[in-house]
Structure 1
Amino acid sequence: MTLVHEAVGGSPDAARAALAAARAARSAELDRWLAGLLAAERVPRPDPGEPPEGVALVAVGSHARRELTPGGDLDLVLLHRGRDDVAELADRVWYPVWDAGLRLDHSVRTLHEARTVARSDLKAVLGLLSARRITGDPTLVDEVRAAVLADWRADARLRLAELAEMTRGRWESQGELAFLLEPDLKEARGGLRDVHVMQAVAASWVASAPGPRVRAAHDLLLDIRHALHEATGRSPDKLVLQEQDAVATRLGMLDAGVLSRSIAEAARTVTYAADHLWHRVERFCAPRRAPSRARGVERTPVGDGAVEQEGEVVLARGADLDDPALTLRVAAAAAQAGLPLAPATVERLAERAALPPVPWPAGTRDALVALLGAGPAAIGVWEALDQAGLVVRLLPDWERVRNRPQRNPVHRFTVDRHLVETAAGAAALTREVARPDLLLVGALLHDIGKGWPGDHSVGGAVVARDLGTRMGFADGDVRVLETLVRHHLLLPETATRRDIDDPATVETVIAAVSAVPGRERELIELLAALAVADGLATGPAAWGAWKAGLIAELARRAIARLAGGTPPPPPLLPPEQLALARHDGAAVRIAGSRITVAAPDRPGLLWRAAGVLALHRLVVRNARVSSPSSGAAATAVLDFTAVPEYGTPPDPAALEADLRRMLADRLDVAHRLERRARSVRPRAGVAVPPPRVTIVDDASSTATVVEVRAHDRPGLLWRIGQALGECGLQVRGAQVDTLGAEAVDVFYVVDADGRPLIEPAALSAVRLHVLGALKDDGAR
């Protein structure tokens, strides 16, 4: 027979249309030829050209799907109803196929044999699920397909678990198609095989069939594989570097770079859909729980506007789609809970949710930081937003790096995925810096300049400045972000190429960070943490113990050269709060998210007030605590900014009443909080870095300064304050800030006599006690 091997080119649409037509023609030609082979009889029959009775020739695999590329293998099954001459019939087909030089995978089965093999051989059943009759007894083919499909559905819980294990093994051995320099278009994760597996899962009725975006991605990968076979005259599935330009030309693409970007986009579309499919399969295959007496689907709040439903995060019924922070806040809630966003929810957000104005409101910026701060759990959620086009709508400059290949064996990922991986890695280093929000956003943007011509560090600094302004950061913070991106390679390159024992080397670092006066130490800490996250996200060839040690030592020497960098002093009260502090007795004011309490100073006032806020499901975003007077009649002013954990804000009158009851010692805050905690079902969430408690030396001559860096959670301030109170300490001043999902809190404390702690043993005991109170925060 004659096979179709026609070179294609021209526009991408025309080239791909020609490839699809070639596959269709080849499939039709093969069908006619194979049908004729089976129909040829040595002994003439009344109806020559008809196949023998009780037998059928069936195609499985790519030929069954009419996707056979020029070098693809034929996979045929000869079905029969117990014919004695079936071996002779098989020889009529197999030998001419071999003589034509085609590779052939073949088998001969009765209905019973086909059904038995399908129940024990996973590859066999996957083939038979897509079987297509070429010629012969149609009833026999229908019976086989119906029997195999019935068994597949009846045994779905067992067979899908087996299929999941086989698929994971294939992913581990083949890698991820979107990020490979020389990918296997068929077997790698996100490749053609995954779409075929998704179709098999859909046949079990456990999940839906692949949608139009996945089918379009599959067709593009199939066309690329076809062009590869045409270009090489062979049948490889691996697209090696030296063949990529030729394949791009046959597809009408500009060059190999455009080809690689197209592959990455298609593969990520397939991977995203497959991840959600396997999430459903995993829940289906899990041991069944006893049926609940509760009616309807269980919905558990995981954040403001977000609830968990069937293992995914969906919008709460009262979610405000006009809220410009909703999209990122729901995404952050999903990532912090370690759950995927439901695809329907992502589509609804993309279609209807409001975009934030420029500059972004603080709530939108905090939601972005909370999303990135979830670490590796943020990657899948970010991918969901990206697949829906939301990332580019939020950050227009993202389009230039989206799916951009690095074409460098050192890098494991495309540029955009590398940025997200770096930010996820930086989440583990948030305890190392005073501004975790700038670290996370800087990590997300550090290579953003790779979408622009010229030095990516220089171009990226300009983009980072624009995006930092767009996100609503203060001018000083924007300058830090710009400098962080401009010099993100400063420490790695200086540490590995210069003599760090030379004083001029440290001066080089100091000169670079002096672009933001007064924040030099902060910048060095950020650069050091970013270097670690960047190196780890790049790949093993870019990072190692030797390089890590050099960078850490260079950063230590630069910080030592700068010295200083103590926490801020206790805040000064504005005039309106000074007036409130002079109020006779106690005063409580609630104005939206701003809650101010002025009362006679006494031990435990801070943590009890914070506990009342936690009882009303309020999360403290920042707080300032100060005592403008001293002595027996001292008055403390507690100024909180707090937002609802989820849902609507509490009734201001009820909140004020509970705060006044607390001040009058008529509310047992600890008992109420413990009772509430017992009623809440614990959830796994994501792994976060362990909390860090530091006693800052020489930061104050009148108080001991305790700095706490921890993952934010409801009641955190209450737990810290209670632990300080249990140590016999009183808070004279505090500066509490929540940056995304990270808390950076500084407390100025004194002992019962109003003096700072001095003894090392006492200081160590305080530090360990506060850590003990937060011991569960590193393994949520």
Structure 2
Amino acid sequence: MTTPPYKRAAQRLQEEEALLWTLPLPEGTALAATGSLARRELTIHSDLDLLLLHEPGCAPTEEELAQIWYPLWDAGKKIDYAVRTPDECGAIVNHDVTAGLALLDLRHISGAEELSLRARQSALKMWRRAMPKNFDAVVDSAIKRWRRAGSVVAMTRPDLKQGRGGLRDADLIRAISLAHLADAPPLGQERELILKIRACLHEHLRRSRDILDPEYAGDIAHDLGYESRYDLIRDLVSAGKKIDEALTEALAGARTLLNRRQPWYRRSSRRRPLELDVVESEGRVTLSREPNFEDPGLPLRVAASATRYGLPIDPGVWARLARTPVPPEPWLKVQSADFIAVLASSEWSPHVVAELDAHGLWERFVPDWQWVRGRRPAEPIHIHSIDNHLLATVAECARRSVQVARPDLLLLGALFHDIGKGYGRPHEQVGAEKVARMAARLGFHYQDRSRVQTLVAEHTTLSRLVAQCDIYDPRTVDTLLEAVHHDILTLELLGVLTEADALATGPGVWNARLERGRDHLIARGREELQRLHYLSPAPPMVRVPGELGVHPECEDGFPVVYWRGEHQRQSIRILALCAAKAWNIEAARMVRVGEQVQAELVVRPTAGRQTIDPNDLIQTYRSGVHTVIPQIQPRPCAIYWHESIIEIRTPDQPGVFGEILRVLPEADWIELKNIGDTLIVRSALSAPINRAETERNVTRALGNS
């Protein structure tokens, strides 16, 4: 019977250690191992990571070093070695995070064992002492590694060593526990499985490479006694998920503990309200002291707060959120807005959705998710499983949300564009059916449901036309316009989704030819539709019965504040008041009437009472306490012109509308809509108009200069 590769790796470890014991070491030195040799995790093709230790001032000569290393080179061994004192090991831990992690595994091989013990103690002591200062660097190093290698759970070609949920993350958990910042959970079985797969992979590849390609998965499954490669991948995904969850918990616990060790005056323990029943505490999103667990929108509100403010969610929140009921259909407008907000962050949305799914909450909002969870696509060009490809596409669309007038439709289409794969029918058709039901659940009206359904049904059309047709043939443009039903909004959404889908699929899918063809067809289609259907935006209607107050009727469930002043920049006072009271502006209308400016603000209170007391509003406004809008963070923006009307699109944040009003010239009317956490501001500027200066002022104010 053939010996399994992972057992041959164990035999190699014994042979290598026997060889190392025979090396002639100078007096007063020690030979120690780091890396996989120190952890006894060698494979057939692993390098030998060695460290020669000596006392200060007693470094070995070149001749002595040659007598140590040449026997290894003559035997054909690949070695990576260093020569240091024990104190130098501690200094390296303080300055180099990657090298420091390797030294934590240091193991004595031969020679003066006391030197190896001192070196490891020095490294451990410095690691524990420097961890409060280096913690952010450790996390940043891990994030950079994850971005390069991807996820063991999500990738169709997972990196067993460097990927998120791989061996490096298991090492990082141990390093955090050695710093006494978290407990190391039992992950022996998960680590052993990944090590066996890695040993078999090196054997079949005949080289040291840690990326598991699908064509080798079948042979490795046979080596390890699995019936098929799908069973192997299932267990690998499960192991990677456990390691990833354990690391996430360890990092969160370590950050909390480090914060508590700081002096009281430097701790971030203040509880800051974020949304109704949702607060920030110690840098994480958590629940208020007495939340309403009968509110079906509470889980979405927690998740939306995490993506809006870029904060992790406290692990203790999830079990409590499981008590909330499923929202009835159709959802309330605020629940739909929170759902879109969960998808609107290019950095945080994939992680937050993954957390919701891991705790059994995402499926209650997207029931079709169970079909694509962990499912591998049939196309070899895909680097992600279908569910993670959908989230990667959503992230790419969120990064480009300012390029479209309806980012909510774009994000919803991205989430559902490939959800119909694996049903035995064209996945575009199945996905269109499913997204139409989801749009109805969100309360979208018929026209928007039709648009997002068309977007999913035709999401491969642009790529197909560029690949198979002459893009300069007018008939190709006609085919594209027929596919989007001659709707300019759907055309723009399709252009952005095509790029995001290709970028999320894999390297090289989005290329210069596809980009050039997409741009040409979209531009030609837009010109044709504007020539046939152009309508100038109409000014909004406002009703302002007094200087300041609150309408008795709500709009889409939100209170409406009215205001009247002498010029538009004077409205910054009422906007500063809204920001101070944590009222998010969902819509706004401002019109010049004679010598006055009249405005209506549709606001969503995010903390405290959901109604507004008119007397309190007037008293607070007249007191003049709140006159300064919050300072905004630099965010992307896009600017478009329709004759004298400027359209500005930028991600929502407190104070951004006031900042836009501060730099805009006087206007005949201004209209704001908050769609998918993206502000779309249209303003009909009064003549004369200097477009270049206006664009320069807006982009500088929003942080794009």
In which range does the TM-score fall when normalised by the shorter chain? Answer: 0.7 to 0.9
- After superposition, the C-alpha distances for 1:533-588 in whole angstroms (9 at most, x for unaligned) are 22333344112333222212211222222232536534668xxx7xxx7x799874
Tell me, yes or no, if the aligned pair for 1:340 and 1:380 is still in contact at 8 Å: no
Q: In structure 2, which of residues 180, 183, 192 is the aligned counterpart of residue 209 of structure 1?
A: 183
Post-superposition shift, 1:487?
Answer: 0.3
Matched, 1:328 2:300: yes
- After superposition, the C-alpha distances for 1:68-97 in whole angstroms (9 at most, x for unaligned) are 7798899999999xxxxxxxxxxxxx9xxx
Aligned to 2:649: 709
Aligned to 1:674: 627
Matched, 1:642 2:603: yes
Q: In structure 1, which of residues 510, 525, 528 is the aligned counterpart of residue 492 of structure 2?
A: 525
Which amino acid is the alignment partner of residue 306 of structure 2?
A
Aligned to 1:313: 285
Matched, 1:620 2:585: yes
Tell me, yes or no, if the aligned pair for 1:692 and 1:771 is still in contact at 8 Å: no
Tell me, yes or no, if the aligned pair for 2:47 and 2:79 is still in contact at 8 Å: yes
Equivalents in 2 of 1:242, 1:557: separation in Å? Answer: 43
Post-superposition shift, 1:440?
Answer: 1.6
Post-superposition shift, 1:391?
Answer: 2.8
What is the SS of the residue equivalent to 2:650?
A: strand
Post-superposition shift, 1:688?
Answer: 3.4
Tell me, yes or no, if the aligned pair for 1:691 and 1:777 is still in contact at 8 Å: no
Post-superposition shift, 1:289?
Answer: 12
Post-superposition shift, 1:203?
Answer: 0.5
Aligned to 1:692: 639
Tell me, yes or no, if the aligned pair for 2:31 and 2:50 is still in contact at 8 Å: yes
Equivalents in 1 of 2:226, 2:695: separation in Å? Answer: 61
Aligned CA distance change for structure 1 residues 303 and 764 (closer, same or farther; 3 Å): farther
Segment of structure 1 superposing worse, 401-410 or 193-202: 401-410
Equivalents in 1 of 2:421, 2:277: separation in Å? Answer: 36
Which amino acid is the alignment partner of residue 674 of structure 1?
T
Aligned CA distance change for structure 1 residues 76 and 513 (closer, same or farther; 3 Å): closer
Residue identity over aligned pairs, in percent, reads: 29
1:347-366 alignment runs, 5 A limit: 347-348=318-319, 351-366=322-337
Post-superposition shift, 1:647?
Answer: 3.9
Segment of structure 1 superposing worse, 301-310 or 237-246: 301-310
Equivalents in 2 of 1:607, 1:172: separation in Å? Answer: 41
Aligned to 1:225: 198
- After superposition, the C-alpha distances for 1:614-667 in whole angstroms (9 at most, x for unaligned) are 45432221245679xx889x996x554311143444651444534xx97xxxx3
Aligned CA distance change for structure 1 residues 554 and 320 (closer, same or farther; 3 Å): same
Segments of 5+ residues of structure 1 without an aligned counterpart are 9-18, 39-55, 81-93, 698-703, 750-756
What is the SS of the residue equivalent to 1:620?
A: strand
Aligned CA distance change for structure 1 residues 164 and 653 (closer, same or farther; 3 Å): closer
Q: In structure 2, which of residues 170, 193, 204 is the aligned counterpart of residue 195 of structure 1?
A: 170
Post-superposition shift, 1:526?
Answer: 0.9
Equivalents in 2 of 1:185, 1:547: separation in Å? Answer: 33
Which structure has more relative contact order (CA 8 Å, sep 6+)? It is 1
Aligned to 1:344: 315
What is the SS of the residue equivalent to 1:674?
A: coil
The structure number with the bigger radius of gyration is 1
Equivalents in 2 of 1:463, 1:506: separation in Å? Answer: 28
Equivalents in 1 of 2:162, 2:579: separation in Å? Answer: 51
Aligned to 1:776: 701
Equivalents in 2 of 1:147, 1:611: separation in Å? Answer: 55
Equivalents in 1 of 2:144, 2:652: separation in Å? Answer: 37
Equivalents in 2 of 1:565, 1:155: separation in Å? Answer: 63
Normalising by the residue count of structure 1, what TM-score does the alignment of the two structures yield? 0.69
Segment of structure 1 superposing worse, 161-170 or 183-192: 161-170
What is the SS of the residue equivalent to 1:737?
A: strand
Aligned CA distance change for structure 1 residues 163 and 607 (closer, same or farther; 3 Å): closer
Normalising by the residue count of structure 2, what TM-score does the alignment of the two structures yield? 0.76
Tell me, yes or no, if the aligned pair for 1:616 and 1:650 is still in contact at 8 Å: no
1:115-134 alignment runs, 5 A limit: 120=92, 129=104
Equivalents in 2 of 1:350, 1:210: separation in Å? Answer: 27
Equivalents in 2 of 1:285, 1:597: separation in Å? Answer: 44
Matched, 1:502 2:473: yes
Post-superposition shift, 1:63?
Answer: 8.3
Tell me, yes or no, if the aligned pair for 1:590 and 1:656 is still in contact at 8 Å: no
Tell me, yes or no, if the aligned pair for 1:712 and 1:741 is still in contact at 8 Å: yes
- After superposition, the C-alpha distances for 1:440-476 in whole angstroms (9 at most, x for unaligned) are 2212222222343332222221222222223332232
- After superposition, the C-alpha distances for 1:313-356 in whole angstroms (9 at most, x for unaligned) are 3334454444333333333333233x341451553465445443
Aligned to 2:526: 559
Equivalents in 2 of 1:169, 1:294: separation in Å? Answer: 28
Tell me, yes or no, if the aligned pair for 2:632 and 2:655 is still in contact at 8 Å: no
Equivalents in 2 of 1:510, 1:742: separation in Å? Answer: 27
Which amino acid is the alignment partner of residue 401 of structure 1?
V
Aligned CA distance change for structure 1 residues 615 and 552 (closer, same or farther; 3 Å): same
Give aligned pairs, total.
676
Aligned to 1:41: none
Tell me, yes or no, if the aligned pair for 1:376 and 1:425 is still in contact at 8 Å: no
Which amino acid is the alignment partner of residue 209 of structure 1?
D
Aligned to 2:403: 432
Tell me, yes or no, if the aligned pair for 2:173 and 2:247 is still in contact at 8 Å: yes
Aligned CA distance change for structure 1 residues 330 and 474 (closer, same or farther; 3 Å): same
Q: In structure 1, which of residues 589, 612, 619 is the aligned counterpart of residue 551 of structure 2?
A: 589
Aligned to 1:246: 219
Post-superposition shift, 1:511?
Answer: 1.6
Which amino acid is the alignment partner of residue 285 of structure 2?
V
Equivalents in 1 of 2:218, 2:124: separation in Å? Answer: 43
1:376-525 alignment runs, 5 A limit: 376-406=347-377, 410-514=381-485, 520-525=487-492
Matched, 1:652 2:619: no
Aligned CA distance change for structure 1 residues 277 and 142 (closer, same or farther; 3 Å): same
